[in-house]
Amino acid sequence: MQIKITGSGSYIPSLRVTNEDFSNHEFLNEDGTNFKASNEVIARKFVEITGIQERRYASDDMNNSDMAVIAAKRAIESANIDPETLDYIIFAHNYGDISKNKIQSDTVPSLASRVKQKLEIKNPKCVGFDILFGCPGWVEGTIQAMAYIKAGMAKKCLVIGSETLSRVVDIHDRDSMIYSDGAGATIMEATSDEGGILSYESATFALEEANYLYFGESFNKNLDSDVRYIKMYGRKIYEFALTNVPLAMKSCLDKSGININQVKKILIHQANEKMDEAIIQRFYKLHNQDVPEGIMPMSIHKLGNSSVATVPTLFDLLIKGEIENQSIKKGDYLIFASVGAGMNINAFVYQY
């Protein structure tokens, strides 16, 4: 028995927000003082570091769970399964449903239950639950689905990663330019086909690292201090990721029995182009190898960082031929990897 992704789907919001759309923002320092550089300089340096040229935001009438339903329907259709045969719906997110211009996160009922309702699944034995695991949530959900199937507790699982980060950003913080919205979903099944998940690695670093990403008040001290926004210590995250993600990927690859030269693609969380490039370079350096050309497909340039949605969306776009000069074929070995709030790291080696 092999455990494979048999269907995938994604939802990319239609509202395109370019870096120029931030030209009139009042960016501030953490202490509330004016940022000295012009917005033009900020935007130029931002692209140089992150690679992000534009991002997508959900329309005003759409919530996180709404996007997830669309991605889920596409994954179900792709897998050609009856949704009534699903054993689990695993929904990875961080902030629940946050309606436009609202300040409360809504997670009751769970987003997985909302997706199940909107998919009109009647089977009560299809269990839905949410996981909060930072940006690596979809990867962790996939690992959990594999465990359920391997243990004989499930045959089919729907794993979703969806987020509306545009609803929790501080517009006075330059980091707000990083974040975006989107949804990705996959169907996991036990099959007689070869391949699937060969090994995995997962870890939580929660001493001083736990608060590298956190919820904090706006840099604008005139705003309500009780309203919180996504915040991060970017330099600390960068250094943490460069040290720990390559090691986790190496451990995962070692357990798989696959040689690094057999790896065709690495699908890494689309957080920051320079950081992702540095992670891959260190990973190959651990094997005394140069980084192969085209090993790391990227979607961040046009889609930004949509947290848990970046990896499943990237996979969906890749297999559907929608990433320029990138493709995979049956039998190829892939590494999926992510890092994010917690601080959490995970990876799995997969034969397509």
* Three-class secondary structure assignment of the chain: CEEEEEEEEEECCCEEEEHHHHCCCCCECCCCCECCCCHHHHHHHHHHHHCCCEEEECCCCCCHHHHHHHHHHHHHHHHCCCHHHCCEEEEECCCCECCCCCCCCECCCCHHHHHHHHCCCCCCCCEEEEECCCCCHHHHHHHHHHHHHHCCCCCEEEEEEEEEHHHCCCCCCHHHHCECEEEEEEEEEEECCCCEEEEEEEEECCCHHHHCEEEECCCCCCCCCCCCEEEECHHHHHHHHHHHHHHHHHHHHHHHCCCHHHEEEEEECCCCHHHHHHHHHHHHHCCCCCCCCCCCCCCHHHHCECHHHHHHHHHHHHHCCCCCCCCCCCCCEEEEEEEECCCEEEEEEEEC
- pLDDT tens column, 249-295: 999 999 999 999 999 999 999 999 999 999 999 999 999 999 999 99
Q: What is the pLDDT of residue 38?
A: 85
pLDDT bin (cut points 50, 70, 90) of residue 188 is very high
For residues 183 and 86, state if they share a domain: yes
- Answer whether residue 102 shows pLDDT above 90: no
pLDDT band at residue 35, thresholds of 50, 70 and 90? confident
Q: pLDDT grade, residue 103 (50/70/90)?
A: confident
Of the given ranges (34-43, 104-113, 180-189, 324-333), which has the lowest mean pLDDT? 34-43
Q: Is the pLDDT of residue 114 over 90?
A: yes
Residue 43 pLDDT > 90, yes or no? no
Residues 171 and 50 in one domain: yes
Give yes or no: residues 19 and 164 share one domain: yes
Does the pLDDT at position 166 exceed 90?
yes
Residues 333-338, mean pLDDT to the nearest whole number = 98
Average pLDDT, stretch 234-252?
96
Higher pLDDT, 154 or 39: 154
Residues 160 and 28 in one domain: yes
Residues 182 and 308 in one domain: no
Residue 226, pLDDT score:
87
Domain harbouring 29, CATH code:
3.40.47.10
Shared-domain flag, residues 247 and 158: no
Span 121-141, mean pLDDT? Answer: 97
Do 189 and 211 sit in the same domain of this protein?
A: no
Q: What is the pLDDT of residue 41?
A: 86
Last residue of a domain, one of 151, 171, 193: 193
Domain end point (choices 193, 214, 232): 193
Instruction: Tell me, yes or no, whether 110 and 256 share the same domain.
Output: no
165, 193, 221 - which closes a domain: 193
Same domain, 164 and 283: no
Residues 180 and 207 in one domain: no
- Residue range 284-311, pLDDT digits in tens: 999 999 999 999 999 999 999 999 999 9
- 24 pLDDT exceeds 90? no
pLDDT at 270: 95
Q: Is the pTM here over 0.85, yes or no?
A: yes
Domain span holding position 30: 2-193
Do 170 and 41 share a structural domain? Answer: yes
Residues 54, 176 share a domain: yes
Query: Does 347 score more than 90 pLDDT?
Result: yes
The domain total for the chain is 2
Residue 193 is predicted with a pLDDT of 84
> What pLDDT is stored for residue 25 in this prediction?
87
The whole-chain average pLDDT of the chain stands at: 95
